[in-house]
Amino acid sequence: MKLWSSSQQRVFRLEKYRLIYSGPSFDSNIDISIDRTSKRYHVKSKKHEGGKEQFLDGSLDLPLDAYVGGMILIVVKNLSKGISETVHTVAFTPTPRLIQLALEPAGQDRILVGELKKHTTHLELKPELGLWLKIISTLAGRTPPDSHSWITFDRVPAFVRFEGPFYVAGPIWRIEPISPRWSNQE
């Protein structure tokens, strides 16, 4: 369950965020919240197999371009076609970490909407870890993979597909609507 609010004063801005993961798809049950105004975060987590409940509380100063979860897809949809951008994302490990995320065009694909052929822009979402975090995450076997998003930029930008993890060290998931069809799958 995601809850977030934003302020759209020419840019999207994360104001508050709450995320709850629970169930067998996740290695832990986790309840996360962060608030820009108070600069406070709270994390409650418990491993499924006999884990002890853990609590983390602290403060985190969020830059104006900090986004989380599905909010990043909204930002991607609002990029100008063919433009690269670098933003920040908050990754809960379970302690929140600010990570730069490069949003880069990676080519075009064709889809069919009914009988109409359309083009989508494939964007790569690449976490840019600093040197020390890259070394530590590599040694721990927790280097985040790139994610991928496909957007049509016709009259109104529209989401077509997403591939990537939903949480740190999570599996790669694919989200796509039933229609459109990829033109190579006719």
Q: How far apart are CA 148 and CA 157, in angstroms?
A: 16
pLDDT recorded at residue 186:
44
pLDDT in tens, 117-151: 888 999 999 998 887 777 777 777 777 889 999 99
**What one-character DSSP code corresponds to residue 183?**
G
- pTM beyond 0.85: the answer is no
pLDDT recorded at residue 10:
59
**Residue 153 contacts residue 121 (beta carbons within 8 Å):** yes
CA 104 to chain centre: 14
Say whether pLDDT at 43 is over 90.
yes
pLDDT recorded at residue 125:
94
Q: Residue 161 — very low, low, confident or very high, per pLDDT cuts 50/70/90?
A: very high
When pLDDT is averaged across residues 2-12 and rounded to a whole number, the result is: 55
**Residue 69 contacts residue 7 (beta carbons within 8 Å):** no
When pLDDT is averaged across residues 152-157 and rounded to a whole number, the result is: 84
Q: How far apart are CA 122 and CA 164, in angstroms?
A: 13
When pLDDT is averaged across residues 70-81 and rounded to a whole number, the result is: 86
Backbone angles phi, psi at 132, to 5 degrees: -65, -40
Say whether pLDDT at 60 is over 60.
yes
**Residue 21 contacts residue 30 (beta carbons within 8 Å):** yes
Nearest Cα to Cα of residue 94 among 178, 34, 163, 159: 34
When pLDDT is averaged across residues 110-123 and rounded to a whole number, the result is: 88
Q: Do strands 40-47 and 54-59 pair parallel, antiparallel, or not at all (unpaired)?
A: antiparallel
Region label for 39, one of left (φ > 0), alpha (ψ between -120 and 50) or beta (otherwise):
left
Each domain of the chain, given as residue ranges in start order, spans 2-185
